[in-house]
């Protein structure tokens, strides 16, 4: 067995083990924070109902998140056969939820109770030699509304 194959298998194994741990831990933290911030309402609606004396401000949140070696390999195989690429689905799901959470956290820190006109922007920022997507950036922004009494 050549040295290259051993390295490849080691990376695959490391990616599988640490990738799974990282993903589980991330989902756990996302769910916990989503519960904590559930009182900050998020809407993609542009027209804000009349809430009385309010103050608005732009809030944003972004995250860059990377896929692990194992999943990238699996996704590469998937490219050959076609079909759903579950590996990337969970990556994007985690990235979007994380970005929205960071935006919500900023809104919460400013004392806002809701965020309107939420927009999400996704871009792949890093490409490795084989031109496969290594990581994605998700940027979420919206107008936070603070009700002044």
> Positive or negative, the Cα torsion across 94, 40, 107, 60?
positive
* Binding string, residues 100-119; x marks residues near other proteins by CB under 8 A: ----------------xx-x
DSSP, collapsed to helix, strand or coil, labels residue 21 as: helix
Q: 3-state secondary structure string, 83-97?
A: CCCHHHHHHHHHHHH
> Does residue 121 interact with other proteins by CB under 8 A?
yes
One of 30, 37, 48, 85 touching other proteins (CB under 8 A): 48
One of 30, 33, 37, 66 touching other proteins (CB under 8 A): 66
Nearer CB in complex with other proteins: 82/129:
129
Bridge partners (DSSP) listed for residue 126: 135
Residue 126, C-beta contacts closer than 8 angstroms, at least 6 positions apart:
66, 133, 134, 135
DSSP class of 24:
H
The residues that touch other proteins, with contacts defined as CB under 8 A, are: 11, 14-15, 18-19, 22-23, 26, 46, 48, 51, 53-58, 60, 62-69, 71-72, 98, 116-117, 119, 121, 123, 125-128, 134-135, 137, 139, 141-143, 145, 148
């Amino acid at each position: 067995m050549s040295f290259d194959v051993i390295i490849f298998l080691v990376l695959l194994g490391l990616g599988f083990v640490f990738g799974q741990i990282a993903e589980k831990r991330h989902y756990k933290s996302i769910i916990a924070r989503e519960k904590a911030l559930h009182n900050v309402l998020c809407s993609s609606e542009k027209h804000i109902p009349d809430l009385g004396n309010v103050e608005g401000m732009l809030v944003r949140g972004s995250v860059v998140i990377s896929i692990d070696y194992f999943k990238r390999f699996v996704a590469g195989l998937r490219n050959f056969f076609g079909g759903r690429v579950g590996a990337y689905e969970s990556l994007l799901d985690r990235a979007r939820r994380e970005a929205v959470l960071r935006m919500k956290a900023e809104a919460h820190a400013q004392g806002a109770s809701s965020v309107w006109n939420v927009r999400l922007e996704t871009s792949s920022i890093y490409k490795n030699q084989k031109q496969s997507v290594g990581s994605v950036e998700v940027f979420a922004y919206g107008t936070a509304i603070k009700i002044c009494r």
